[in-house]
Amino acid sequence: MKTKTVPLLLIVVGLFLMLATTPILVSAGGTHPPLVYNPTPSDGELLVVPDGSLGVHCSIDSPNGSAMMERCWTNASGSFVWSNWAGPFTNTTINWNIDASSYATTYYWGVYANDSFGDSSNTTFSFTTRGNYPPVISNLGIPDASINQDVYLVWNCSINDTEGFSFDWNISCSSGDSVIGTYDTNGTKTCVFPFLAYNTTYTVWVNVTEDIGGLSTNEVYTFTTKNAPVPPSPDSGSLADAIVPAMYAFIVIVFILGLVGLVLKSFERWGR
């Protein structure tokens, strides 16, 4: 009887000690809080395109394998906004939409999670939206509203995006000439107008649209070609130009008269 009582007593004491020490072990770090990671946009990311319903995502895992509850928060509206509680689950991906529609603004969002062991985490992420900087058209090779331009014309300008986004562009002229570029980068863009009319005013349109964000710039320019060359008039020559033909005609006439005189003299001699 004594032998059976001792093991039973040890079991009871062991269970009591386990139950009594579990809260102490938990509070002392015996378990691990939920792990929140891999956010989209990435933490600290710049040049995010503004969106009134921007999707943010992250992964959440329970190192303990225990069930978790979570809720998201953000200060996008100027004050903290919390989502409803979600769960329970062990490992999952969190998807949430926030209003991030302002340009050049830093937004903060995060995830608060706790598990069945009482461990919790509150992880914060941030991102910054791009500025409101559309592409810039500058450095015209042919000044706007210029005159006296050639009828074969090479027209160019610089197109630059401040934030380095690629863009699509086109240059077109009222002459019917045009050129386009897609997914292009900063630099000089050129269009050739080879068959222009004299003394005519032409219009040039330049349109640029970013591939990311969609900001665009549209400009209109003009130029006028030079007058047509004027052929010289017959009486506009110099005195020498007028005298030379007259002298030539006089010499020809004298030559012909002399030749006629010789022929007549020859006939007279034959007649004798």
* pLDDT tens-digit readout, 94-124: 888 999 999 999 999 999 988 888 888 899 9
* pLDDT class of 16 with cuts at 50, 70, 90: low
User: What is the pLDDT, as a whole number, of residue 65?
Assistant: 81
The answer to which of 143-152, 158-167, 254-263 has the lowest mean pLDDT is 254-263
Q: Which segments of the chain belong to CATH 2.60.40.2550?
A: 136-225
- Using an 8 Å Cβ cutoff, are 128 and 105 in contact? yes
Half-sphere exposure of 198 (CA within 13 A, CB side): 5
| DSSP structural state of residue 244 | H
User: What is the pLDDT, as a whole number, of residue 83?
Assistant: 82
Distance CA 76, CA 233 (A): 79
At 160-189, the pLDDT tens digits run 999 999 999 999 999 999 999 999 999 999
Strands of the chain (E only): list them. 35-40, 45-48, 51-61, 68-74, 81-82, 86-89, 92-100, 106-115, 120-129, 136-138, 146-149, 153-160, 167-173, 178-184, 187-193, 201-210, 216-225
* pLDDT class of 238 with cuts at 50, 70, 90: low
Distance CA 115, CA 113 (A): 7
Please tell me the pTM assigned to this model: 0.64
Q: Which fold has domain 136-225?
A: Immunoglobulin-like (2.60.40)
At 180-221, the pLDDT tens digits run 999 999 999 999 999 999 999 999 999 999 998 889 999 999
Q: Which residues pair with 108 in a beta bridge?
A: 126
- Which architecture characterizes domain 32-129 according to CATH? Sandwich (2.60)
User: What is the pLDDT, as a whole number, of residue 259?
Assistant: 73
User: What is the pLDDT, as a whole number, of residue 106?
Assistant: 93
User: What is the pLDDT, as a whole number, of residue 135?
Assistant: 96
Average pLDDT over the chain, rounded to an integer: 84
Q: Which segments of the chain belong to CATH 2.60.40.150?
A: 32-129
User: What is the pLDDT, as a whole number, of residue 25?
Assistant: 43
